Amino acid sequence: MITILDDSFSELNAYLESNKPSKIIFLTDENTHEHCLPFLLSNVTTEVPYEVIEIEPGEELKTIDTATQLWEILSDFEADRKTLMINLGGGVITDLGGFVASTYKRGVSFINIPTTLLAMCDAAIGGKNGIDHQFLKNIVGTFANPEQIFIYVGFLKTLPHPDLRSGFAEMLKHGLIADRKHWEDLTAISELTPENIAHYIERSTGIKQEIVQQDFKEQNIRKTLNFGHTIGHALESLFLKSGCPIPHGEAIAIGMICETRLSYLNKLITEEVSDEIIKQIKKYFPLHDISSFKIKEILHLMTNDKKNSLGEINFSLLNGIGSSCYDQRVSNDEITEVLTFYNNMTA
Ligand SMILES: NC(=O)c1ccc[n+]([C@@H]2O[C@H](COP(=O)([O-])OP(=O)(O)OC[C@H]3O[C@@H](n4cnc5c(N)ncnc54)[C@H](O)[C@@H]3O)[C@@H](O)[C@H]2O)c1
Ligand SMILES: O=C(O)C(=O)C[C@@H](O)[C@H](O)[C@H](O)COP(=O)(O)O
Ligand SMILES: [Zn+2]
């Protein structure tokens, strides 16, 4: 289901040849339209007619308004059940495109061609599609798998550095929750460049796939893939609401620092291990000033987390490097303590 493409794009062409869609609709944003679509089209050999949709880039567009516009465009293009949507972009495009495709006419086929590191290693895989609403992250969505995921690492050449770093956060997460060696390999990288990271993409995709295959609908082990996201998503929402969004991975890096410290407070790891993990994350990620965000508002946002049950916030935490657990309860005092801990790091 995941294919790493070389310059010939032959597996993509073979897929299109054997599936014979009635029409192809490419969903792009301004940047992937400019940097990725021309190369893709120059390599696609199919005779199937196609249309291209381009939206503005950014998390602000991952909304019901954009989804509505896209449903209307699919209708204008007379998309039918044999239409194939190709989501060419980062996580915003794969989340939004997957949501639109999986709901239009109760579902048209889609494939993901991720163009950011984050989408290659995480967002394009696993069938979580969705949109934000009232600044709540991915609060409306579907579980629906793309027919295929085609990864072409060459697309990373034009990716801005902050977005490369953002994807690296999710890779570090994969190492922390499931594979100590992956964590050690990644944290040995001194400079984040596509060349230095490319070799480790396959392992990250493998970790994500192995977990999702065991628990597609996130009833149990899939919750570990959400490590760093309970606090991270709440902060990402607040940055988005403030009009100064930060990349998803940067919010998750803050979340991972706080939730690593929570793992220590809950006696799941020693302070020494917690300090070591935090030191490594700090090596790559800028510290953000979150002191103006009210703890009450952060806690309130966390009550919307999708892992919660029976009115309780459930955390996914670490019980070692490369080992994790889920459905962990922590007190509001402990959450306040780790947010203060992070604030003190930035002071
Ligand atoms: N569904 C999932 O499992 C899952 C997992 C992780 C994250 N996500 C979601 O993914 C989103 C973040 O994804 P993202 O970090 O890819 O952000 P993004 O899609 O906004 O892409 C980041 C930026 O890079 C640009 N870009 C993309 N590819 C490019 C290329 N090859 N060259 C130049 N510019 C390029 C985009 O236009 C955008 O400006 C968030 O909404 C997050 O919630 C979903
Ligand atoms: O695939 C998953 O499961 C994840 O949790 C991966 C996360 O990196 C990703 O950000 C996901 O979109 C979060 O999902 P959500 O259910 O917390 O909205
Ligand atoms: Zn994430």
pLDDT for residue 228: 98
User: Confidence class of residue 299 from pLDDT cuts 50, 70 and 90?
Assistant: very high
Question: Of ligand 2's atoms, which has the minimum distance to the CA of residue 208?
Answer: 1
Q: Domain map of the chain by residue range? A: 2-158, 161-346
User: What are the helix (H) ranges across the chain?
Assistant: 10-19, 30-35, 37-43, 64-76, 91-103, 117-118, 161-178, 180-187, 194-198, 201-214, 229-241, 248-265, 271-284, 295-302, 332-346
Confirm or reject: Cβ of 166 under 6 Å from ligand 1: yes
Confirm or reject: Cβ of 36 under 6 Å from ligand 1: yes
State the sign of the Cα–Cα–Cα–Cα dihedral 61, 141, 125, 208: positive
Amino acid at 288: H
Closest CA to ligand 2's atom 13: 226
Mean of pLDDT values over 308-314: 94
Mean of pLDDT values over 7-31: 97
pLDDT for residue 188: 98
Q: Which pLDDT tens digit goes with each residue over 246-275?
A: 999 999 999 999 999 999 999 999 999 999
Do the Cβ atoms of 170 and 224 come closer than 8 Å? no
> Which residues sit opposite 29 in a β-bridge?
55
Q: Which pLDDT tens digit goes with each residue over 133-152?
A: 999 999 999 999 999 999 99
Confirm or reject: Cβ of 115 under 6 Å from ligand 1: yes
Residues near ligand 2 (Cβ within 6 A): 122, 126, 128, 137-138, 170, 218, 222, 225-226, 229, 306
How far, in Å, is the centroid of ligand 1 from the Cα of 24? Answer: 22
Confirm or reject: Cβ of 208 under 6 Å from ligand 1: no
The domain defined by 161-346 carries CATH number 1.20.1440.230:
no
- d(Cα 15, Cα 207) in Å, to the nearest integer? 25
The end-to-end CA distance of the chain, in Å, is: 46
pLDDT for residue 277: 98
Q: Whole-number mean pLDDT of the chain?
A: 98
Cα–Cα nearest to 224, from 176, 168, 285, 165: 176
ipTM associated with this complex? 0.99
Do the Cβ atoms of 166 and 248 come closer than 8 Å? yes
Q: What is the CATH number of domain 2-158?
A: 3.40.50.1970
Closest CA to ligand 2's atom 7: 226
pLDDT at position 160 over 90: yes
How far, in Å, is the centroid of ligand 2 from the Cα of 225? Answer: 7
Question: Of ligand 1's atoms, which has the minimum distance to the CA of residue 98?
Answer: 1
pLDDT at position 347 over 90: no
Q: Which pLDDT tens digit goes with each residue over 166-203?
A: 999 999 999 999 999 999 999 999 999 999 999 999 99
Confirm or reject: Cβ of 89 under 6 Å from ligand 1: yes
